[in-house]
Amino acid sequence: MNIVCIGGGPAGLYFGLLMKLQNPQNRVVVVERNRPFDTFGWGVVFSDATLNNLRHADPVSAQTISAEFSHWDDIDIHFNGACNRSGGHGFIGIGRKKLLNILQDRCLELGVELVFETQVTDDQAIAREYNADLLIASDGINSAVRTRYENVFKPDIDPRRCRFVWLGTKKIFDAFTFLFAKNEHGWFQVHAYQFQEGLSTFIVETTEETWLKAGIDQMSQEDGIAYCEKLFAPWLDGEKLIANAAHLRGAAIWIRFPRVICDNWVHWTQPSPGKDVPVVLMGDAAHTAHFSIGSGTKLALEDAIELCESLKTTEGDLRKGLEHYQAVRSVEVLKIQNAARNSTEWFENVRRYENLAPEQFAYSLLTRSQRISHENLRVRDAAWLDNYEQWFATQAGATGHVPPMLTPFQVRDITLNNRVVASPTLLYSATDGVVGDFHTVHLGSRALGGVGLVMTEMTAIAPDARMTLGCPGLWNDEQAVAWQRVTKFVHQHSTAKIGIQLGHAGRRGSTQRGWEQENYPLQSGNWPLVSASALPYLPNVSQTPAALTEAQMATVIDQFVAAAKRADHAGFDWLELQAGHGYLLSSFLSPLTNKRTDNFGGNLENRLRFPLAVIQAVRHVWGKPLAVRISTTDWVEGGTTVDEAVLMAKAMKQVGADLIDCSSGEVSPEQKPVYGRMFQTPMADRVRNEAGVPVIAVGAITDADQVNSIIAAGRADLCALSRPLLSNPAWLLHECARHGWEVTWPAPYEYGRQQLLQQVKSNGR
């Protein structure tokens, strides 16, 4: 093939040399706008795993790179006067210029044609000039080729919130170093690492807001660098900061990182009549990932490797090869970009975590991307994690060394013996609101399974507050007596606490059971519904509710209070109000369901008025822990956002809520949720650390490693699980056995404990 690479960065050079290695008969031309061996930037970093990929693809250049790189295993995190060092991370750093020189030399050695000082203004013209069969657009983050065909590639470019400047220094850091400094303008952070003998990369980053407050946008390049030197003087040991972007002036060296995603990476063109030539995006032209989790260089090199392999495996079928390249590589890039998004947002919100102790701040940073979990940290640096677990356990008041999920948690006078909660789960198995043996067995078995707290499903405060005919209630004494049997069993036979979730179904009431036609009205015997506004849940299907009057609001408040009193008499330790998922209280909170024009509609303050009145009234008669479940986002444009959820949580805390249970969605059937493991935990993180209120994380949390990671990082105080406990009531006992953690089993289950521990020992953890 005749191959032309537009752009002589790592992607174009590496793909060029790999294609010459694959078939020396390939003619490969790399066209670069800069001069030979000229480049901008300081060091680049990638992991040991990336280097192994390079060794497999081209051992010769990999060996040369290996001889030049700086290697380290440690990460240092300097925050609030403390330095936490964690090892076992395995990174390499190398100068960008040195890396490009190595790749350029290797290209020349293999016969790749390098054309310098040539600006490509027309990709089709360059394709005709070299009779190209394949055109690679490796022309960087501001790709002109991508821009030309943006209607095909469909790029999504998101300039992130932080400004950063890429500097260098002669101060040598012996670990990958994160520095955090706060002044009167806000937080600044540094990503620093050695990339060659005598030189380190020194990236300074801060939010746009802080950058403007500091006036750096009005400073000369020299003054901006001097500002950073002064701020980070304690770590520079008198060394200067150096800029090498001499072609830029003033504050222009401070840029916002653009996150780039493209729907398509391949576009077929016809530069000459009768000849179809694909234009293929590679490297930063196709995608970007924030420097806080690696570098674009890593992605670019791995793009080149995958495209080369795809063309090889499809045996000359160019279309199939390119389809395979995009299909395989886009998935891998998406994984990295998802992790990069988490990492980027963490650094954009350092202020959110400024009240964490240095130890927890370091843990939060290390696990920010969700690629590194609690147990993965143990593999990397067991001693560091053991010390952290001991510190966390001491802070939580635990006796001995236990993992974070097994530490106690106290709210008012109630202490949970661990951080795992059996989440409220609809069972649809009550009769006239009265629970029976099924509820005793269900909740009792989860309590025997060792969780710290078992929660009932949403329990109706009135007959017309039920969602289905199978939903339990607490509007009369018969129901209270039935619940008392359940709480008595839990208290007598387990160490768990038991809580009740009280709610009013609102416009989602009078429907069939979940295993029937979910959310559809009863086939007969429907009762009238109320909501914030007269809007049905399912248009043209659901019953249209009446907008709640102020007199009806007063009645509902009285019903919540009466149910709370009965819950106390029934022996519950904990109470949660259901104000999420589109039920009555939720319908007031969301602008999608609240279209009122009175004092209970419009802005957030008004939308909060009725739910806050309920919380305040219940708080007056309930002296034990009081939680409120909210939908932190509706997953619908124009609906509740996480920003608003933070404000809701603050307001709820002020009127007596002890915790916020952070769920999401189910407010509107038009929702478009983004699922994934622990997908709601970032919302819990924001509410906890911005609103300053304890939270419960819920949603796709499935194993002990995830629970430990969430609790240890301070992203939540408790983790609620539903589906894992539905399939295995002894989930917690099994997870503890798998990891070798000591936990109390019910005495009658002792033989089962012994057998399970023996199986774990035989199979290996």
Cα separation of 6 and 119, whole Å?
A: 9
Mind spelling out the 3-state secondary structure of 608-630? HHHHHHHHHHHHHHCCCCEEEEE
C-alpha separations of 549 from 59, 446, 463, 599 in Å: 76, 40, 18, 12
Q: Of the candidates 92, 93, 95, which has an alpha carbon nearest to the alpha carbon of residue 39?
A: 95
Specify whether the CB–CB gap between 205 and 80 falls below 8 A.
no
Angle at the Cα of 340 from the Cα atoms of 338 and 344, rounded to 5 degrees: 125
Indicate left, alpha or beta for 84 from its phi (over 0: left) and psi (-120 to 50: alpha). Answer: beta
The burial of 449, by beta-carbon neighbours within 10 Å (0-12 exposed, 13-18 middle, 19 or more buried), is given as buried
746-758 b/e (C-beta count within 10 Å ≥ 16 → b) = beeeeeebeebee
In 488-603, the DSSP E strands lie at 497-503, 530-531, 546-547, 574-579
Mind spelling out the 3-state secondary structure of 714-765? CCCCEEEECHHHHHCCCHHHHHHHHHCCCCCCCHHHHHHHHHHHHHHHHHCC
Specify whether the CB–CB gap between 512 and 466 falls below 8 A.
no
Q: Of the candidates 78, 681, 765, 711, which has an alpha carbon nearest to the alpha carbon of residue 389?
A: 711
Cα separation of 591 and 92, whole Å?
A: 50
Rounded to 10 deg, the angle between the 681-691 and 642-654 helix axes is 50
Tokens encoding 338: 């998802």
Specify whether the CB–CB gap between 45 and 72 falls below 8 A.
no
Cα separation of 502 and 519, whole Å?
A: 20
Specify whether the CB–CB gap between 472 and 428 falls below 8 A.
no
Q: Which residues are the active-site residues?
A: 583
Specify whether the CB–CB gap between 300 and 138 falls below 8 A.
yes
Q: Is the dihedral of CA 448, 732, 430, 568 positive or negative?
A: positive
